[in-house]
Structure 1
Amino acid sequence: MLEQIRAINASAPFNRWAGFDVTAAGEGRAEIRLAMRDELTQYSGFLHAGVTGALIDTVCGFTAATVAGRVLASHYQVGFYAPAVGQLMIARGHVVKAGKRQIFANAEIFAVADGEERLVAGGSSVLMVATG
């Protein structure tokens, strides 16, 4: 499953540009790592909120794909808990409930600075199983 999700990730131009690295995927879970660089930050040097949202959207999608195949997000939300500052960001997602047509997934974003993880954002997504 990990190789399939990595192939999907590699096919997305935005994910390649951002540097999303899928490090785990299977059984309703997924993890993406993102090395920080200047192009991903906003004016104060934190990870840009849009990139944080993209991480949540993507990790929830990959999480859902591990149980349902092709999916499309119909809704997602993001909550910001602390400035996302560090050398690395880790997005971890898991399926909360998988139905026939919809999948509910949650995600957390951790900033890693000097080897320590700090929770900086969280979110959830409702995904539709793609048909046709």
Structure 2
Amino acid sequence: MPTDGTLLKDLQRLNETAAFNRWAGFEVVDATEGSVSLRMPWRAEFGQYSGNLHAGLVSALIDTACGFAAYTLSGPVAASHCAVSYLAPGTGEAFIATARTVRSGRRQIFMAAELHDEREGVRVLIATGETILVPVR
């Protein structure tokens, strides 16, 4: 994977190839080898019955951030496990998912992530997650 500053641009291009990511408005805002941050602005159609961010989008942000972070280490990956802990309702104007590598091996990459929402300039932790990804050759 590139380390000359093009990593962020490469992931932004990759993100644009995924129709779901475009629909949801995922933006890759930071990328280094083994870690990635995504941002998604709030839209009313993301709410569930009580108006908070739907759990499916919480999981999608965590899964995507972890997948992109693993991609920086090995190229294309597929998820073999994803677990999410929902800590608080998502009620912010935007959501930031940050993923980092826990351990990277030849056959599996273990990732951890946090999802914060932005509420009037303050970030609030709303979920954490773990994924195991498998390099796809």
TM-score, normalized by the shorter chain, greater than 0.5: yes
Cα distance in 2 for partners of 1:74, 1:4 equals 24
For 1:10, give the aligned amino acid: E
**What does residue 117 of structure 2 align with?**
111
Q: Percent identity?
A: 45
1:26 to 3, 19, 32: 32
For 1:18, give the aligned amino acid: A
What are the Cα deviations for residues 8-62 of structure 1, in whole angstroms up to 9, with x where unaligned? 1100000000000100112111000010010111111111000001001100000
Cα distance in 2 for partners of 1:123, 1:2 equals 22
1:66 to 62, 72, 79: 72
Between Structure 1 and Structure 2, how many residues are aligned?
Answer: 131
State the Cα RMSD in Å: 0.6
For 1:82, give the aligned amino acid: A
TM-score (norm 2): 0.94
Give unmatched runs, 5+ long, in structure 1. none
Q: Does 1:121 align with 2:106?
A: no
2:90 to 61, 84, 92: 84
**What does residue 7 of structure 1 align with?**
13
What are the Cα deviations for residues 53-76 of structure 1, in whole angstroms up to 9, with x where unaligned? 100110000010111111111110
Cα distance in 2 for partners of 1:124, 1:8 equals 22
Cα distance in 1 for partners of 2:21, 2:72 equals 18
Return structure 1 stretches of 4+ with deviation > 3 angstroms: none
Give unmatched runs, 5+ long, in structure 2. 1-6
**What does residue 43 of structure 2 align with?**
37
TM-score (norm 1): 0.97
Secondary structure of 1:3's counterpart equals: helix
Cα distance in 2 for partners of 1:32, 1:92 equals 7
For 1:58, give the aligned amino acid: T
